[in-house]
Structure 1
């Protein structure tokens, strides 16, 4: 059927099929290879949930004292103990019926579960008479999921109570169970939400009823492959996979994979106007944008792998897990996506079919206008944009303090509510012990020194085994208060003086203190490594030292501005009581590694134009005009996928999603479009120093080599 629209008509003399002869073999071979890979990967991907680890040690610094304490506690007799606190509370004061019901329920718990001491614990009433707590220690539960099930059974068993009496299960074991439940529910929710967001954005970008299905399906294949590979690494190399790293890997696969798809499809659409056969168009498209996609994925993978240098277990484990996700996304988009598109032919773009030999409609697009404005007044644009980013960065001064363990959930679970009830009912005394481990031969000296430490209310000798003895120290200050922190420092300083004791101070509060110190150390080490890795990859791609520096400085400025925006909204708008100590490092890695992607897309196209003989100003504007639409689409998709993290019930992931999403949007619509373009215009040929383009621009003017690539038609003014 013929139509009057050049976008709808078929190409003249086009082959009957999307590919023919030997050109069909390669796409089918690529699809067949991925089918075989999926047959192997899918069974393993389904097992990934079973090997995830969300214990306390998995989120602690590898070399910290508190981590060693947690590991030694598991080896002591009763190391499989699950410590709980049953908290009974009535605002007006407990009645005799309340105490009777509480005692009966605790006795029932003792009959149904194996307790340390094998008898029901005695209640500890508060001075105001509103609360009674029963410390309960379950034993014989070695698996985290079994412990979580036991906590759930106890909660179900004590659900019946007199009207007006609240009963909650708290303590470290209950907090771990609540965390386990949260992480178990995130993966499915995150996968569905991310896929839905990507699908909507692809439909809006491509404006096609069919095309959006292909990138979405391919990125789903990449996600399954990544989960299978990660499971293999867990089994083969004991890689630590946590709920957090698994969630972030899912976002990376969908976000980065969709970005690569947008760039490839956009370039493929261009080449279909120049080549009769889709196979030839795709081959030329991959030659044109392939180096940028490879460099883009290389910066992300390299930046993530720099996390291996971190001492924090959760951060160092996230590095290879995230890198696997990015590499799988790259492999799928560079092989499976082109194969499917070639076999389906150009009609997959219906109703906006790019016709061979046609010229796109010539019209002034948004990004051409933005590039022209940056070209006319580059100094004003650069100065104004820099001032804006600097002003936003000042918001970091308003960031709340470090996040406490009880504030890590957006919706407070039962264990956190129980802890808050204890803090109100038992003021002036710590409701959780500071755990001290010392060599048994020196345990008595350590005990006496601990009791004499300023800020300590009481200390008792605990379990012994394997040459170690545990001492429970109760501080006068509330958990994670300034008073308790001072007590922790005093304990560590004083107990170190007990010769031969090897004393280690741990427990939940000490863990938070070590997390803060370790994250500071990790930032000082990992951030320079990330910058060096990214600079090296950019220098290799762009054959320049100045252009990579421009891109890296720009993306670091974006990170500062995004953190500043976080300081303006986290506490006043979201109501968060603090920021996770690991947020600055992880957000830096993601924003630098991911944000520089768009600079790669822009600068690589700018270099292509310069190689064709265009001046720096013309190359900059042309690059922005031809890549601005796809960069905007990719930025919106990536920001949206990270924004999905804000739907999860963990403050750390919400903060991470906000910082990265806002940073990507700033990078996409301000830095890449205006600041990088204006910097290129101001630097002129120096942007390519000391590469061949710089030297060629310095040479006397002469005719452009006839062997150079021919100029391209303008990019169609459609998104995607």
Structure 2
């Protein structure tokens, strides 16, 4: 009778194609697959370098930007006069105004710290008291050569903090350390805590939700164990790629990798497990069910993963080193996870058989799926209502996206609000001029080899001081050959604010360039100038990366669906979901949260995840809808059945993935909090509004024209409909959605 059942299933057609062959091989040779993964994991973990990160925004910009040119000129002309790598900020222990004795004590403290000979610190220089007389600083110089990952500087800050507190005991002063090196150290420390917290939250969420869905601790532990191995391989490959191509990786990438690996990996496991359970219910033995699940889910996993990888790799076109490294890193992680979803997971399930569902017996019987069936029936009757309501919700949220304002200070956003560098940086900002904490630099350079004259320098200084938005310009500081002069320019506004950026981008750079004396040229640098150039680079990326990724993903959809019309409205729906996500984030954090703006890279990060993962769920829904159409249903009936059967898979995958990214909000960093909400909200919108309602409703309304110019929804012979219908998800149901299901089940019962 088993042979009769297999014949009814169209086993001959199942023999053909890449995914059927892969499924059979994995199902019958599980130990070989597992052994290969173990060998690769040991090799990668044993030989791969450590993945290093940086918070230096300038390192993300290419050399043709003016702020980078200014930095290079400053380092060449004034190697001993670079901006302090760290800043000691001091005040009286009783919070009173500093006295002359206190200022003398600050100078003595600088001398004492220098005598301590802390490694990798070259000099201490006591500054003047702030205008309100409450704070005084000591600049800390550190070498930058041979320290590309800033490890020597962060180690020096650790030692300096210990020494500082020991020397302050009994002095009547208190203080802390801020500045770029201290911010890097605090960012790394915060990132390590965030990684641990995010890892625990992500894994805990996956365990709980999979226990609820499958009622089996074995299934719940499956992604934790397997993806734990996969993550080590992915980390090693990313580290190799970063080293080989000199990619600059931001400190937030490692936290995102945890979520991407476990979140996306669990999605692909769900795609497979729902199909595996479906094949068991149809009467397959466990190994046949594994092979059938790879056959049916393989196309969905590969096409969905391909869309994600393309979205990430499109960032290689970015002018920012941050995005050029982030995209390939996440693409590598998804690629490794995709391969694991097609090989490692099925091989483990092949060994376990039905024991993977232990102790639950629910896998044996088809649940009624009343909720999704009712939603599907309602959509089939009223697709226009579902399309209108879901479309209006997304469009209304998208309106708020037009008020998005970016901020560019990555270092402060990647730290907790209570970190030492953040606290003392804010104290210094409150006590001094807003722009005094990070002055801009104007570099005037002779272009003909002639020395700069005092008259030229003084006149140029007066011109810079008259620029609107400039509070103060220092006396020019010439280099040893008198061919380069440095002006420290204090702005009226916070160096990371939009007002300061407007000053640098507009009147300061314009005046500096045009007012340069004959035979000289000027460049404007500093932190604010770096932010200005990052904004310019991001605007370029919006115009290049977004369209390229959209076109490639549309082509992938066209190849998967063998149609032109459906990919176009699917991508339009994804774009609408992107706008809705950005709008929701603006409403929560910018309009209601009191923030001046949102982290500048948020739209790019959202674009990658919302577009890519939204396309994942669209593929899952549309391929299931095509499968139902091939079984002989009209467009409205096919949409209803697609929601009934793919709905549970999309709901489960969306819930787990959205929850995984929401764990980023627990990190206590504004950057990760905004990213966590935006990505989780985007995934929720993609899963529960776009893919669940908007996409099937529009497809039902468009009808057969959705598959133009092909006939991908044409009714197929029973065997092809069952085995060649694509990889659409089969959440709560499955084979009973095809016409021959009843006959097959009857044969099984007999």
In structure 2, C-alpha distance between the alignment counterparts of 1:98 and 1:254, rounded to whole Å: 54
Q: 2:695 aligns to what?
A: 676
Q: CA deviation at 1:401?
A: 5.2
Q: CA deviation at 1:311?
A: 0.9
Q: Summarize the Cα distance change of 1:465–1:588 in structure 2 as closer, same or farther, 3 Å threshold.
A: farther
Q: 1:478 aligns to what?
A: 493
SS where residue 422 of structure 2 aligns? helix
2:442 aligned with 1:436: yes
TM-score, normalised with respect to structure 2? 0.84
| Contact 1:371–1:674 (Cα < 8 Å) also in 2 | no
Q: 1:128 aligns to what?
A: 132
Q: 1:427 aligns to what?
A: 433
Q: Which moved more, 1:530-539 or 1:176-185?
A: 176-185
Q: Summarize the Cα distance change of 1:227–1:139 in structure 2 as closer, same or farther, 3 Å threshold.
A: closer
In structure 2, C-alpha distance between the alignment counterparts of 1:566 and 1:319, rounded to whole Å: 22
Q: CA deviation at 1:556?
A: 1.4
In structure 2, C-alpha distance between the alignment counterparts of 1:182 and 1:469, rounded to whole Å: 40
Q: 1:4 aligns to what?
A: none
SS where residue 614 of structure 1 aligns? coil
| Contact 1:360–1:716 (Cα < 8 Å) also in 2 | no
Counterparts of residues 170-189 of structure 1 (less than 5 Å): 170-189=178-197
Counterparts of residues 492-503 of structure 1 (less than 5 Å): 492-497=509-514, 498=516, 501-503=520-522
In structure 1, C-alpha distance between the alignment counterparts of 2:476 and 2:263, rounded to whole Å: 52
Counterparts of residues 184-199 of structure 1 (less than 5 Å): 184-199=192-207
| Contact 1:273–1:354 (Cα < 8 Å) also in 2 | no
Cα deviations across residues 460-517 of structure 1 (Å, max 9, x unaligned)?
A: 4457489984613222413325267425533322333446645321111111122222
Q: CA deviation at 1:261?
A: 0.3
| Contact 1:405–1:512 (Cα < 8 Å) also in 2 | no
Q: CA deviation at 1:706?
A: 5.9
Cα deviations across residues 150-193 of structure 1 (Å, max 9, x unaligned)?
A: 12222222223559844122333333333343334444443333
Q: Summarize the Cα distance change of 1:682–1:495 in structure 2 as closer, same or farther, 3 Å threshold.
A: same
Correspondent of 1:543 among 545, 555, 562: 562
2:110 aligned with 1:106: yes
SS where residue 133 of structure 1 aligns? strand
Query: How many equivalent residue pairs?
Result: 686
Q: CA deviation at 1:530?
A: 1.4
Q: Summarize the Cα distance change of 1:629–1:388 in structure 2 as closer, same or farther, 3 Å threshold.
A: same
| Contact 2:318–2:541 (Cα < 8 Å) also in 1 | yes
2:30 aligned with 1:48: no
SS where residue 693 of structure 1 aligns? coil
Unmatched runs of 5 consecutive residues or more in structure 2: 1-23, 735-750
In structure 2, C-alpha distance between the alignment counterparts of 1:716 and 1:558, rounded to whole Å: 23
Q: 2:13 aligns to what?
A: none
Q: Which moved more, 1:311-320 or 1:21-30?
A: 21-30
Correspondent of 2:612 among 585, 589, 593: 593
Q: CA deviation at 1:146?
A: 1.4
Counterparts of residues 335-350 of structure 1 (less than 5 Å): 335-350=343-358
In structure 1, C-alpha distance between the alignment counterparts of 2:62 and 2:106, rounded to whole Å: 39
Q: 1:385 aligns to what?
A: 390
Alignment RMSD (CA, Å) = 3.2
In structure 2, C-alpha distance between the alignment counterparts of 1:196 and 1:466, rounded to whole Å: 63
In structure 1, C-alpha distance between the alignment counterparts of 2:155 and 2:58, rounded to whole Å: 20
Q: 1:490 aligns to what?
A: 507
Q: Summarize the Cα distance change of 1:86–1:282 in structure 2 as closer, same or farther, 3 Å threshold.
A: same
Q: 2:598 aligns to what?
A: 579
Q: Summarize the Cα distance change of 1:390–1:442 in structure 2 as closer, same or farther, 3 Å threshold.
A: farther
Q: 2:90 aligns to what?
A: 88
Q: CA deviation at 1:223?
A: 0.8
| Contact 1:260–1:330 (Cα < 8 Å) also in 2 | yes
SS where residue 259 of structure 2 aligns? helix
Q: Which moved more, 1:100-109 or 1:459-468?
A: 459-468
TM-score, normalised with respect to structure 1? 0.87
Q: 1:138 aligns to what?
A: 142
Unmatched runs of 5 consecutive residues or more in structure 1: 1-20, 698-703
Q: 1:374 aligns to what?
A: 379
Q: Summarize the Cα distance change of 1:155–1:708 in structure 2 as closer, same or farther, 3 Å threshold.
A: closer
| Contact 1:145–1:180 (Cα < 8 Å) also in 2 | no
2:540 aligned with 1:521: yes
Q: CA deviation at 1:312?
A: 1.3
2:306 aligned with 1:305: no
Counterparts of residues 227-246 of structure 1 (less than 5 Å): 227-246=235-254
Q: Summarize the Cα distance change of 1:443–1:389 in structure 2 as closer, same or farther, 3 Å threshold.
A: farther
In structure 2, C-alpha distance between the alignment counterparts of 1:117 and 1:330, rounded to whole Å: 47
| Contact 2:123–2:142 (Cα < 8 Å) also in 1 | no
In structure 1, C-alpha distance between the alignment counterparts of 2:96 and 2:653, rounded to whole Å: 58
In structure 2, C-alpha distance between the alignment counterparts of 1:624 and 1:22, rounded to whole Å: 32
